A = this chain, B = another copy of it.
Amino acid sequence: MQIIDGNAIAESIIEELTQEVGALTGKQPVVAFIRVGDDPASVSYVRKKEKTAERIGIESRLHLFPEDVSKEKLFDLIDALNADPDVNGILIQAPLPGHIDETETFNRVDPAKDVDGFNTVNIGKLCQEDASGFIACTPAGIVELIQRSGIDTEGKHVVVLGRSQIVGKPAALLMMRKAIPGNATVTICHSRTRNLPEVTRQADILIAAIGRPNFVTPDMVKQGVAVIDVGINRVEDASKKRGYRLVGDVEFEGVAAKASHITPVPGGVGPMTVAMLMHNTLRAFKAAQ
Residues of A at under 8 Å CB distance from B? 103, 119-130, 154-157, 163, 165, 169-170, 172-173, 176, 178, 183-190, 192-194, 199
Contact = CB atoms under 8 A, between A and B. Distances in A.
Nearest to A118: B128
Contact of A185 (B169, B178, B189): B189
B194 A185 contact: yes
A130 to B, nearest CB: 7
Contacts of A124: 119-125, 127
Contacts of A119: 124
B185 A190 contact: yes
A185 B202 CA distance: 14
Contact of A193 (B103, B169, B185, B199): B185
A105 to B, nearest CB: 14
Contacts of A169: 127, 173, 176
Interface of A is mostly: mixed
A19 to B, nearest CB: 33
A186 B194 CA distance: 12
A165 B128 contact: yes
Contacts of A185: 187-190, 192-194, 199
A155 B194 contact: yes
Contacts of A165: 127-129
A127 B189 CA distance: 16
A176 B155 contact: no
Contacts of A183: 190, 192
Nearest to A111: B120
Nearest to A177: B163
A172 B176 CA distance: 12
A154 B170 CA distance: 22
A38 B92 CA distance: 49
Contacts of A176: 163, 169, 188, 190
Contacts of A121: 120-121, 124
A120 B129 contact: no
A24 to B, nearest CB: 30
A154 B192 CA distance: 7
B193 A155 contact: yes
25 contacts: A103-B128, A103-B130, A119-B124, A120-B124, A121-B121, A121-B124, A122-B124, A123-B123, A123-B128, A124-B124, A124-B125, A127-B173, A154-B192, A155-B192, A155-B193, A156-B194, A183-B190, A184-B192, A185-B189, A185-B192, A185-B193, A185-B194, A185-B199, A187-B187, A187-B188
A216 to B, nearest CB: 16
A218 B178 CA distance: 28
